[in-house]
Homo-oligomer: A and B are copies of this chain.
Amino acid sequence: MKKTRELRKWKILQEKDISPSPWFPLYLHKVEMPNGKIIDDYYLSKHDNVAMIAPITRDGKIVLVRQYKHGVEEVILELPAGRIEKNLSPLEAAFKELKEETGVVADNLIFLGEILTSPTKDSTRVYCYLALDVEITGEQDLDETEEINVEVYPLSDLKSLISSGEFKGSEALATLLKAKIYLESRNLDVQISI
């Protein structure tokens, strides 16, 4: 294509913390674009990063979670995931969230890479993991603001869950896609056919 520009980062001239609460970290930036234009009021949130896990059992089933999400006011189906607390590494957070949300124990987590969720207005990065041969203990450890149902599906159900729109979280779909590509490239026994 013609007309490609050299794309560069914006320069942050000023940053002001205008968070209304620790629960919603919000910043106001004054920035300079590479073309010299100044934007006085660019707002962005800086929520903690997320660890997300695609947990697959020895017999080829995937562990999903169903829970209410107040942003969209809907009960939705997702992969297990959680915000990464400041004192934890992404890997530590992934093990912890998986165990607490689902009661699933994994020996090993395979890092699939990082994805972005709302990169225009939020800093969040999602660290994606694949867990194979997981064991379902049935013992969740939820706090009182969490109500999470654990649901186990054959991997062969995923395609219809996605095309019907029942499974529609973009981070979860992106993580599954990365898991699919990983498993294919390793030619492992378990495969995700989506």
Give chain A's interface residues, CB within 8 Å of chain B: 1-5, 7-10, 18, 20-21, 23-24, 26, 28-29, 31, 33-35, 37, 39, 41-45, 47, 66-76, 113-126, 136, 138, 140, 144-145, 147, 149-152, 159, 162-163, 165, 168-171, 173-178, 180-182, 185, 194
**B29 A70 Cβ-Cβ under 8 A:** yes
The distance from the CB of A111 to the nearest CB of chain B, in whole angstroms, is 11
Considering the chains assembled together, what is the distance between the CA atoms of A162 and B45 in angstroms? 26
Contact check, B26 vs A42: say whether CB atoms are below 8 A apart.
no
The 7 A-B pairs of least Cβ separation, nearest first, read A24-B43, A173-B174, A69-B119, A170-B174, A170-B170, A72-B119, A115-B170
A-B contact list, 6 entries, CB within 8 Å = A8-B68, A69-B119, A72-B124, A117-B117, A159-B181, A180-B194
Known interface pairs A1-B151, A181-B194; 20 further A-B residue pairs with C-beta atoms within 8 A, sorted by A's residue number: A3-B150, A4-B149, A7-B149, A8-B75, A9-B75, A20-B28, A21-B41, A23-B41, A24-B121, A35-B144, A35-B147, A47-B121, A69-B119, A71-B121, A72-B123, A73-B123, A114-B165, A114-B168, A117-B117, A162-B178
- Please measure, in the bound complex, the distance between the C-alpha atom of A97 and the C-alpha atom of B159, giving whole angstroms: 29
B124 pairs with A118, CB closer than 8 A: yes
Max chain B C-beta neighbours (<10 A), residue from A29, A33, A151: A33
Q: Assuming A24-B26, A31-B70, A145-B33, is B169 touching A119 (CB within 8 A)?
A: yes
Which residue of B7, B18, B145, B176 contacts A37 across the interface (Cβ within 8 Å)?
B145
Cβ of B39 and Cβ of A123 under 8 Å apart? no
Contact check, A3 vs B140: say whether CB atoms are below 8 A apart. yes
Most buried by B among A37, A114, A177: A177
